[in-house]
Amino acid sequence: MPSSLKHSYDAIVVGSGPGGASVARAMAARGLRVLVLEQGSAAPLKGTLGQMAAIAAVPGKGAFFHGDASLLVRGLVAGGSSAINFATAAPPPAAMFAAHGIDLEPQLAALRAELPMAPLPDALVGPMAARIMQAALSLGLDWHKLDKMIRPQICRAGCWRCVYGCPYGAKWTARDFLDEACAHGAHLVDNAPVTRVLVLGGRAAGVEVQIDGVSTAVLADTVVLAAGGIGSPRLLHGSGLAPRVSPFFSDPVIAVMGSVDDVDGGAEVPMAAGLNLHAEGIALADLTLPKPMYQAFALQVGRFGRLSAHRRTLSIMVKIRDEIGGAIGPHWVDKRLRDADRAKLKQGVAMAHGILAAAGAKHVFQSWHFAAHPGGSVRVGEGVDGDLQTPTGGLYVCDASVIPGPWGLPPTLTLLCLGQRLGEHLAGSAASQRQQRMPMFIAASGPPVSSAADAR
Ligand SMILES: Cc1cc2nc3c(=O)[nH]c(=O)nc-3n(C[C@H](O)[C@H](O)[C@H](O)COP(=O)(O)OP(=O)(O)OC[C@H]3O[C@@H](n4cnc5c(N)ncnc54)[C@H](O)[C@@H]3O)c2cc1C
């Protein structure tokens, strides 16, 4: 065991993405002794292709090729997928959570007041996003700027590094909350994959973790799994606490691209603006990505003639709310689109074609589908209760796994609300347990006179 690691804590949080970092921060700020164990590295983000590839493109770790030619990605790094995400914020759907007795409004109000979260100022909306917005508006679509978790005073126009991991601190990531948790006394250990939850007498008792290749047991009465939509169901299964496979959603995406002659761009914050057809479960947004990612899309579908057109190619993301299905297995994932999912993608792609045509784009082509929102694999109401507790006492899940149903939205803000709520709940329970023990303690060590009287 590393010398800095204690033998036991009040709470262990496994994973440091939005769910884990927020629950850790809320508990540490209320005085709990918190250990955060993170499989990935906490080295500073550099905003390079190489670092991003190590975080999210290693097959079987960050990237899963599966099903019908689909790619699913996640970030294995301190801060989780938020380190490489597109920083778009959407509020939690109140009705979905209210159905499970969960009210996230107080946490949402507090986070709105605290976080950088607003549409980008015009100066930071890139020329491609602006051109797509102009075309969508000319068609009468409700295309509007999206809330971004970006500090505009630090963000640089003409920069695209947020996609690889913003090195300037302009993009909010879960690392911001992780830093705060540590400032409140939480202990973070990175490069520390947890292998299983320890259970004693039907209750969580701690975890087994690999540190420097050595398996170590660390104890705590409270364990929060926040290993993400793929990691948490796997840990539950690996601990003998859940079935071998878990169905899930992934919010599949297709990029639709076409080139224009009068724009010279390719370097901007993606998803500056878009629209959400909630009833249909379809969302569209601009999706300008760095050159290597664009070229991967073109290569994927054999459009070799478009490889050099990055700076002139407008790109629109079509994302859908897919049904829960498929399987997360111990070492693999598999999910095929259903007919209803294909129909939604087809409708969204047709809209994107219309917008690109209105923008004057030519040579239009589309990528295969891919996804970056694995979740719903340990759902509230099935795998956990309204307090995010599993049937094993003291064992909680707090990440995209617990989202109760088909999704289709940027999840980060919702996960921050859930993490804050759970952290407040766990700190409150710990405080009331301490209070309950207090009278016994006072009685046990009470005034010598009464003790002496009792003794007589
Ligand atoms: C390219 C991309 C763009 C995106 N864009 C947006 C966006 O614009 N807006 C938005 O809201 N969302 C976006 N998302 C999705 C969003 O980032 C994720 O939904 C969110 O980060 C999920 O948070 P989480 O806490 O569930 O898990 P994660 O962020 O996946 O964090 C889980 C953490 O657990 C760690 N872990 C896993 N297993 C173990 C283990 N056994 N032991 C220890 N640690 C472990 C992982 O390394 C990781 O750090 C995007 C995602 C990607 C990949």
Distance CA 428, CA 444 (A): 25
In 3-state terms, the chain is what percent helix, strand and coil (to 5)? Answer: 35, 25, 40
Residue nearest to atom 2 of ligand 1 (CA): 85
User: CB within 6 Å of ligand 1 — which residues?
Assistant: 14-20, 37-40, 73-77, 80-82, 84-88, 193-194, 226-229, 231, 235, 271, 372-373, 399-400, 410-412, 415
Task: Please name the helix (run of DSSP H) or strand (run of DSSP E) that holds residue 199, with its range, or none.
Answer: strand 194-200
Distance CA 292, CA 267 (A): 12
Q: Give pTM, 2 decimals.
A: 0.95
Task: Please name the helix (run of DSSP H) or strand (run of DSSP E) that holds residue 365, with its range, or none.
Answer: strand 362-366
What is the Å distance from ligand 1's center to 38 Cα?
Answer: 12
pLDDT tens-digit readout, 122-133: 999 999 999 999
Name residue 217's beta-bridge partners: 208
What pLDDT does 437 receive? 76
Query: SS3 of 9, please?
Result: strand
Contact 147, 119 (CB under 8 A): yes
What are the φ/ψ torsions at residue 209 (nearest 5 degrees)? Answer: -135, 145
pLDDT in tens, the chain (456 residues): 666 788 899 999 999 999 999 999 999 999 999 999 999 999 999 999 999 999 999 999 999 998 776 899 999 999 999 999 999 999 999 999 999 999 999 999 999 999 999 999 999 999 999 999 999 999 999 999 999 999 999 999 999 999 999 999 999 999 999 999 999 999 999 999 999 999 999 999 999 999 999 999 999 999 999 999 999 999 999 999 999 999 999 999 999 999 999 999 999 999 999 999 999 999 999 999 999 999 999 999 999 999 999 999 999 999 999 999 999 999 999 999 999 999 999 999 999 999 999 999 999 999 999 999 999 999 999 999 999 999 999 999 999 999 999 999 999 999 999 999 999 999 999 888 888 877 655 555 444 433 333 332
What is the Å distance from ligand 1's center to 190 Cα?
Answer: 15
Distance CA 419, CA 274 (A): 27
Give the C-alpha distances (Å, rounded to integers) separating 212 from 45, 58, 267. 22, 21, 39
pLDDT tens-digit readout, 44-69: 999 999 999 999 999 999 999 987 76
Domains present along the chain, CATH in parentheses = 8-433 (3.50.50.60)
Report which ligand 1 atom has the smallest distance to the Cα of 78: 49
State whether the Cα torsion 239-241-244-249 is positive or negative. Answer: negative
Task: Spell 370-408 as b/e; 16+ CB within 10 A means b.
Answer: bbbbbbbbbbbeebbeeebbbebebbbbbbbbbbbbbbb
Nearest to 274 by CA among 109, 125, 416, 84: 125
Residue nearest to atom 49 of ligand 1 (CA): 80
Using most ligand atoms within 8 A of CB, pick from 37, 49, 82 the residue to mutate for ligand 1. 82
Distance CA 419, CA 425 (A): 10
